[in-house]
Amino acid sequence: MKIILSSVILFSFNFMFMKHPLSMGFILLLQTLLSCILCSYNNTSYMFSYILFLIFIGGMLILFMYMSSVASNEKFSFSMKLTVTNLILIVYTYMFIKNNNLSFEVFNMMIYSYNDHDYHLMNKLFTFPSGILVLLMVIYLLFTLIVIINIVSLKMAPLRSN
């Protein structure tokens, strides 16, 4: 867990110094994956983190499609200053992980006491009476997605046409 948290901090720091849109999207994708892993670690039910990951990935696909059409010919270059800064942060993170004075026992105990209540709330969402409503919402969203795809494909043009 310490490695994931330190990776989140490292990627957040890197995101501030990125200039290319595709590298920013890649860091955002890694941040999404790490936050969903942390969310599934903290909850007894992994379903919330899975749904959150799918929603983020859907938004990231739209952003990637838009950014690849807008910034398709930009050159990608590595910054030496950012590489040295990352190396220093990785060494600092390694020292942070090796420090035995920092314990997450209180944090883990708080999470486990909260998870019992959280599991019952998530269980009510997918059981019989409200499970039908969730299924109808999924079917409605799928139908809306198909309709939007058909409307957009009528134009048959790229996102950014000259």
pLDDT tens readout for residues 101-123? 555 555 555 555 555 555 556 66
Q: Exposure string (b/e) for 65-87, b if CB count within 10 Å is 16 or more?
A: eebeeeeeeeeeeeeeeeeeeee
What are phi and psi for residue 102, nearest 5 degrees? -90, 115
What are phi and psi for residue 46, nearest 5 degrees? -85, -5
User: How many of the other CB atoms lie within 10 Å of CB of 64?
Assistant: 17
| pTM assigned to the model | 0.57
Query: CA 139 to CA 133: how far, in whole Å?
Result: 10
- pLDDT greater than 60 at residue 160: no
Query: CA 17 to CA 30: how far, in whole Å?
Result: 16
Please report the pLDDT score of residue 162 as a whole number.
Answer: 52
Weakest-pLDDT range from 12-16, 26-30, 125-129: 125-129
Q: Which residues contact 92 (CB under 8 A, 6 or more apart)?
A: none
100 — alpha (psi -120 to 50), left (phi > 0) or beta? alpha
In tens, the pLDDT along 39-93 reads 887 776 777 788 888 888 888 888 887 777 776 676 777 777 777 877 887 787 7
Please report the pLDDT score of residue 143 as a whole number.
Answer: 92
